[in-house]
Amino acid sequence: MEETVKKKVMLSGIKPTGDLTLGSYLGAIKNWAERADKYDCFYFMADLHALTTRNNPADLRRRALEQLAQYVACGLDPEKNTLFFQSHVPAHAELGWVLNCYTMFGELSRMTQFKDKSAKNADNINGGLFTYPVLMAADILLYQPDYVPVGDDQKQHVELTRDVAQRFNNLYGETFKVPEPFIPRVGARIMDLLDPASKMSKSDEVGNGRVCLMDKPEDIMRKFKRAVTDSETGHCVYYDAEKKPGVANLMQIYSVCTGKSFEQIEAEFDGKGYGAFKPAVGEAVVEMLRPIREEAEHIMRDKAYLEGIYRAGAERASYVAERTLRKVYKKVGLVQK
Ligand code: TYM
CATH number of the domain encompassing residue 283: 1.10.240.10
What whole-number distance in Å separates Cα of residue 157 and Cα of residue 181? 9
β-bridge partners, 256: none
Quote the DSSP letter at residue 195: -
CATH of the domain at 105: 3.40.50.620
Choose one of 21, 47, 134, 150 to mutate for the ligand 1 pocket test, by most ligand atoms within 8 angstroms of C-beta. Answer: 150
What whole-number distance in Å separates Cα of residue 108 and Cα of residue 129? 10
Is the CB of 252 within 6 Å of ligand 1? Answer: no
Regarding whether 319 and 178 lie in a shared domain, the answer is yes
Regarding whether 281 and 161 lie in a shared domain, the answer is no
Query: Number of folded domains in the chain?
Result: 2
* pTM for the whole structure: 0.95
Is the CB of 190 within 6 Å of ligand 1? Answer: yes
DSSP secondary structure string for all residues of 259-320: ---HHHHHHHTTTT-HHHHHHHHHHHHHHHHHHHHHHHHHHHT-HHHHHHHHHHHHHHHHHH
Is the CB of 24 within 6 Å of ligand 1? Answer: yes
Q: Say what the pLDDT of residue 5 is.
A: 75
Banded pLDDT at 165 (limits 50, 70, 90): very high
Closest alpha carbon to 63 in 28, 27, 17, 30: 17
Regarding whether 328 and 242 lie in a shared domain, the answer is no
Supply the range of the domain harboring residue 228: 217-297
Q: Are strands 180-182 and 39-45 parallel, antiparallel or unpaired?
A: unpaired
pLDDT in tens, 32-71: 998 888 999 999 999 999 999 999 999 999 999 999 999 9
Regarding whether 100 and 55 lie in a shared domain, the answer is yes
Closest alpha carbon to 53 in 209, 161, 205: 205
Regarding whether 40 and 106 lie in a shared domain, the answer is yes
Residue 4 has pLDDT above 70, yes or no: no
Regarding whether 276 and 170 lie in a shared domain, the answer is no
Regarding whether 74 and 33 lie in a shared domain, the answer is yes
What whole-number distance in Å separates Cα of residue 125 and Cα of residue 133? 15
Closest alpha carbon to 111 in 122, 99, 123, 103: 103
Query: Is residue 206 in a domain?
Result: no
CA of 25 to the centre of ligand 1 (A): 10
In angstroms, what CA-CA distances link 91 with 242, 275, 315, 317, 328? 44, 52, 12, 10, 11
pLDDT averaged over the chain? 95
E-only strand ranges, 119-226: 147-149, 180-182
Tell me the average pLDDT across 259-287: 96
Q: Say what the pLDDT of residue 36 is.
A: 86
Burial-class residue 231 by CB neighbours within 10 Å (0-12, 13-18, 19+).
Answer: exposed
Active site members: 117, 199, 202
Atom of ligand 1 nearest to the CA of 17: 2
Banded pLDDT at 337 (limits 50, 70, 90): confident
Regarding whether 115 and 250 lie in a shared domain, the answer is no
Tell me the average pLDDT across 176-193: 95
Regarding whether 323 and 228 lie in a shared domain, the answer is no
Residue 3 has pLDDT above 60, yes or no: no
Regarding whether 167 and 53 lie in a shared domain, the answer is yes
Is the CB of 117 within 6 Å of ligand 1? Answer: no
Banded pLDDT at 327 (limits 50, 70, 90): very high
